[in-house]
Amino acid sequence: MKKELEPLIQLDEIYGVIAASTDGIIIESATRKEIDEETAAALTARISKEVADKTGIKKNVLSIIKGENGYLIFTIKKDFVLGIIGGNDVNLGEVKQVLRKVADRIQGILSG
């Protein structure tokens, strides 16, 4: 599974990649900077749940959240959430494309 995250963690300005269950338990992660992965997984899952609960759309949602110091980008799939934390200079178009591909592959693995 770790190998699946490599295309994402290798992108410029990506600090960390986390795949977590929808209840916030880490499935796999890879980091280039010091990141509290458990907290990141829990928070990403929490926002995902909030989005799913409030909109009624529980899968195939991609969220780009921009803070002053960087991005939290994640996609909500049926069984998990895949997210990245990156700096202000990430290439959004590239990240979105790779994130979707990696998420589809992980979904394939989990669906097995």
Partner 1 sequence: MKRRRDTLDNDGLKSAPGSIDVMISLADLYIQNNLLDQAVELLSGVYSENPDEPRIIEKLIELYILKGNETKAKILLQQGLSVDKNYEGFQKYMKLIEEEKTADRIREVIAEAVEATEEVIPLEELEEAKTPAEKTAEEQVEKVEEVEKPLIEVPEKEIEQKVEEEAGVDPIKRVLSALYEIDEVLGMILSDETGLLIAENVRVTIDTESTGALLSSIYTETVSTLERLNLGGFDYIIFEFPRGVVLILASPPIILTVMCKKDVQEGLLLLKAKSVMDELKNMLGV
Least distance from C-beta 22 to partner 1, angstroms? 15
Q: How far is CA 32 from the centre of its chain?
A: 15
* Chain positions contacting partner 1, by CB under 8 A: 35, 39-40, 43-44, 46-47, 50-51, 54-55, 57, 60-72, 85
Least distance from C-beta 3 to partner 1, angstroms? 25
Closer residue to partner 1 in complex, CB, 10/60: 60
Closer residue to partner 1 in complex, CB, 68/112: 68
User: What one-character-per-residue DSSP string does 47-94 give?
Assistant: HHHHHHHHHS--SSEEEEEEETTEEEEEEE-SSEEEEEEE-TT--HHH
Residue 11's Cβ-count burial label (10 Å; 0-12, 13-18, 19+) is middle
Closer residue to partner 1 in complex, CB, 50/94: 50
Closer residue to partner 1 in complex, CB, 8/112: 8
